[in-house]
Each structure stands twice: as C-alpha cells, then as structure tokens.
Structure 1
Amino acid sequence: MSPATSPRRLGAALAALGVIACGAALTIGPGGGAWGERTVPLLAGAIMALGGLAVMAEPATQDTTTTLRAEMRAASLLLLGAAWTVALGLVGFLVATLIAAPLAFALFGQRRASPLALFALLVPVALHLFFFHVLGVFPPYGRLFDLADIRLF
C-alpha cells in the first residue's frame, strides 16, 4: 500500500463508520431531554463522517512515518472510545470519564502531568453538566459501583 492511498483508506473507513453511527443514532428513542438521547451520538457520527471526508481530501504525503503515527493515533482513540464505553457499564460515567479524558489528551500530545490531572477533573464535570442538566440524558449506573451513588450530604 502506497503512502498516498493509506490516508484515503483511513478517511473512507472513518466516513463509513460515521455514517453507520448516524444511522444507529437515529434508532435511539426520542427520550425526555430537551434535545433527546440521540443528539450527541448523531453529532459524533456526523463529525466522524466529516472528519473522514477531510482526511480523504488531504493531499498525499510521502512521509510514511507521519502517516503511520496519525493512523496509530486514530486507531488508539477508537480503542479508547470502545474501552470507555465498556467502562461506563462497569464503573459508571464519572470514573470512566475521569480515566479516559486524560488518556485522550495524552494521545493528542499532552505530556505534562498538571494539565492531564486538570482534564481528569474538568472533563467529567463539564460533560456531567452538559448531559445531565442541558440534555437531560442520564447514562446507566455502573454494575460494579458508581460515584453517583455516593451521597456527600
């Protein structure tokens, strides 16, 4: 496989997965939130499809090392997303996101501990506010335990 075709194949795969994700999101019921449960998955699928098209439109490069790194980063991010989804069902939204958020930022090149620790705290809080209070979408509780079960007051 030549360096010119590899990013195009990756882009095509991402675009196809995005379209599939959009189709799957449309099967989600309307729900009780202001926007509904399908809003975020539908947006994520659309962004993935558009991102795949953007990758396909990029000019070909002969730098195979850079191309391989980008492909590995994209594959790692997809695997992290899959692991986060499994962790949601086991340990709940807050713990799964607390672990996944700094790992995602590390995949994008952040190496300093203090920003990663800050992301580990701020991302779950921001997503919690967005999903629970803006969208009215409540993810399932973790089967093993869930921080949302703990009452501080």
Structure 2
Amino acid sequence: MRAYAEGLVLAAISCVAIWSAWQVPAASPGDTWAGIVPFAAAVALLALSGFLIIGVTRQNAGGAQGEPDNGATLEIIGLFIIALIYQQSFRWFGYLVPTAIVAPLVLYIFGVRSRTGLALSVILCPLVFHIIFFVLLGVFPPYGEVFDLLNWIQG
C-alpha cells in the first residue's frame, strides 16, 4: 500500500510540475526554452511513478500482499500536502518565511527529534538554500506579495 501511495503522490507531483513547466514563457528565436529542463524532469518523474504503480499492481495481482502500512501512507500524503502549501506560500510570503516554517516540520517527520537541531534548521536551512540558489547560482528569489522578509532585511 505504501509503494502505491508513493506512486500516486509522485504522479500528482509530476503532473503539477508538467503544468508549471508549461507556464514558462516561450523562448526568443534562437534561444533555448527555459522550461526544457523542468519539463523533462517532470516527464521523467511521471514515467517513474508509472513504473512504480505498475510494479505494485503486478505484485498485488500475483497475490503477494504485505501488511498494510497506513501510517506511512498518511506521512506520504502529509508531505505532499506540505509541499503544495510550501510551494504556494512563496507567492504570498517569499522564500525565507515558508522555508523557516517548513524545514523543522519536515525534519521532524523524517525523524529528527533534537530540539536544538530543529531550532537551528529554522535559521540554517533558509540561509544555506539562499546562499546556494540566490547567491552562488544567481537565481532570482521569489518575492512575496503579502510579506517578504528578504525585502525587509534588504531595506
């Protein structure tokens, strides 16, 4: 059951990613379309989720059913919902605030129970990701419509 839920969540994520990649504006003549890598990754993810679902279906058809793992299925669905809310919250609150909220939550779900580690993740995760993506790679950070801590910090 867990692998089936993972396959369905993976398929849903890849469908959202494909739709998002199609939202990237078309390239100028002679340029490469900026959405080609996200689109290709999303299609590959959809194919992998299809293989996962087919494999689970064949395994269940063969009569080899294991113990149902409803707790793991709920965790997978919960992570999917957190990922959707996290991605959507960029629009309203920019990058830093949603990352500071989601990082310790996801780390807790994955088994980190150290209060010090979770508290540090509130600061370190947004900082490290900001340095990697927006400073070193030169990607433009998403600015929030309602409130953006990055605008407030920069003045």
Task: Name the TM-score, length of structure 1 as normaliser.
Answer: 0.69
The aligned amino acid for 1:95 is V
How many residue pairs match? The answer is 143
Quote the residue 2:67 is aligned against.
63
CA distance in 2, matches of 1:105, 1:48: 26
Partner of 1:91: 93
Deviation at 1:98, TM superposition (A): 0.4
Query: Which runs of structure 2 are paired with 1:4-153 in the superposition (5 Å)?
Result: 6-27=1-22, 28-29=24-25, 39=37, 43=41, 46=44, 50=48, 53=51, 57=55, 62-64=66-68, 67-151=69-153
**Structure 2 residue identity aligned to 1:116:** L
SS of aligned partner of 1:150: helix
Supply the AA of the counterpart residue of 2:9.
L
Which ranges of 4 or more aligned residues in structure 1 deviate by more than 3 Å?
A: 36-61
* Partner deviation per Cα, 1:70-117 (whole Å, 9 max, x = no partner): 111111101111221232122210011000111111111212211112
Deviation at 1:135, TM superposition (A): 3.9
Shift of 1:130: 2.7
SS at match of 1:104: helix
Tell me, yes or no, if the aligned pair for 2:91 and 2:143 is still in contact at 8 Å: yes
> Quick check: 1:101–1:120 contact (8 Å CA) kept in 2?
yes
Runs (5+) with no aligned partner, structure 2: 28-33
Contact 1:95 1:147 in 2 (8 A): yes
Distance 1:19 1:87, change over 3 A: closer
% identical equivalent positions: 27
For 1:48 and 1:120, locate their aligned partners in 2 and report how far apart those are by CA, in whole Å.
Answer: 32
Decide whether aligned partners of structure 1 residues 61 and 108 sit closer, same or farther in structure 2, where only a CA change above 3 A counts: farther
CA contact (8 A) 2:9 2:76 kept: no
SS in 2 for 1:116: helix
Please, what is the CA RMSD of the aligned residues? Answer: 3.4
1:127 is displaced (CA, Å) by 1.8
